[in-house]
Amino acid sequence: MARRNPTLAPPCIGLSLRAVVGEYLRHGRLRSAAAFGFDPQWQLDAALAQGWERSSLHASATEQLERDVRLRHRGGWQPLTLKPFYLRGRCLGASLDLWRGLPLAQVLPWLRELRPAPALEWFHFVGADQGAALVDGRTGLHFRRRGRRFVLTAVDASLAAAADDPDLPGGFDNGRWLRKLMAPCDEPAQWRALAAQDADPNAALQAIREIAPYLPGR
C-alpha cells in the first residue's frame, strides 16, 4: 500500500464507491480512470512523473503503481488504493484495495442490478475465513472474515494483452488465476463444512449466511 504519510488524509474523488465497483462488475475494468488523475495511455515513466508511486522497490517487466484516494460511500468516505498494472511500460488495467474493507453483504445486492444476471463462481482459500467471488469469469471480489461478517478487501479484473507477449501471453485471466490459487466452493454445504472446522464455527456460519443467497449451488 502507498500511505507514505499516515498523517495526511488521501484526496477525495468525486465518485461513489458503488459507482466505481459497478464499473468493474459491468465492464470488467475501471472506466473512470481520469477522475483518479490517471490516464491508461500513459507509459510507466509518464505516470511516475505525474506523482504515481511504485508498489515495489524493484523495477521489473511487470509493475504496479499506486495512489491512495477516498471515494464517497453512505454519507462518508471510504479510503482505498488504486493500483494500475504495467507490463513493459504499458498499462493493462487497475485494481482496487480497500483499506478498511466493506461488508460484503452491502456489495452483493449490487449484483442483482446487473442485466443479464452475472455468472458467479465462489472460492475459498484454505478455510472459511478468506475467499473470492468471480463475476462473469473476469472480475474478482476478494473478501476476508472479520468476526461474524465477510468484508470486501479488493477488486481486480482480467487484463488483455498481446497474444505473443512472452511476459503475459494472452493476457491475465482472472478466472484461471483464482481457480489455481483457491478451491471452488459454490455449495452451501461446502461452506458449512469449512465453518465446522473453524476456530469460531458460530461466527463463520453467521458470515456464510450472508453469502448463501448468492451461491449457485444453494
**Among 103, 33, 99, residue whose Cα is nearest residue 68:** 99
CA pair distance 173, 139, nearest whole angstrom:
10
C-alpha cell at 52: 504515481
DSSP code of 212?
G
- pLDDT digits (tens), the chain, 218 positions: 445 555 578 999 999 999 999 999 999 999 999 999 999 999 999 999 999 999 987 778 889 999 999 999 999 999 999 999 988 888 888 999 999 999 999 999 999 999 899 999 999 999 999 999 999 999 999 999 999 999 999 999 987 765 556 665 566 788 888 999 999 999 999 999 999 999 999 999 999 999 999 998 66
Quick count: other Cβ atoms within 10 Å of Cβ 116? 6
